[in-house]
Amino acid sequence: MKKILTLLLGIIFLSSCTGADETGLIKSTRTYETANFKIDYPLDWEVIDRARFEKEIPENIVVGFRTNIKNEVFTTNVNISIDIFEKEVKPKDFAFSTLSLASKELVDFKEIQIGETTVSINEIKQLAYYIEYEGRASAKDPNINFRQVFASKGPVVYSITRASLPSENESIVNMANLMLNSFTLK
């Protein structure tokens, strides 16, 4: 549970346009790829790798992406975190655990959605889960909308998180959500 709380706080620290075409793909993208996963992101978004993270960013967050349209209150971002367990953890269990912790830790917490989705693993669609909720880290902080997708491969759980202001421009939120949908495991 502590990992989930540090993940949420890390998302907030990461926050210190291209559009989508009719097929739902982000125009003008690059692919960020590792030995284990890949994700498409808009050309004009900043990639923040582990070496450039501030000290406050939890160790399990491996990469972040930030829109080039900065906001003095909060800048929309997407990040990927990896948690490794001793045994297999189902994405549904991790999603519900994350949602439960967020409901206890965030001020003004509001659950928006939870449901099933798919993530490609070695080009085969596998069941994954997503959650969407809002809340504040403290009463002084802005209200943030979170959408997270959880996928697992054996004992490794991948969390792909979009964080944005509820009032963020719809096209930026859509691009970030398309990034979540482009995530694939190898």
pTM for the complete prediction? Answer: 0.84
Q: What is the mean pLDDT of residues 47-52?
A: 84
Count H helices and E strands in the chain, helices first: 3, 10
How far apart, in Å, are the Cα atoms of 140 and each of 33, 99, 112, 168?
Answer: 37, 22, 22, 19
* Residue showing tokens 């959880």: 150
What value, to the nearest 5°, has the Cα angle with vertex 36 and ends 77 and 99? 50
Q: What percent of the chain has pLDDT over 90?
A: 73
Structure confidence at residue 26 as a pLDDT band (50, 70, 90): low
The predicted structure's pLDDT at residue 97: 95
Asked if residue 99 lies in contact with residue 91, where contact means CB atoms within 8 angstroms, the answer is no
Looking at domain 2-19+32-185, its CATH architecture is 3-Layer(aba) Sandwich (3.40)
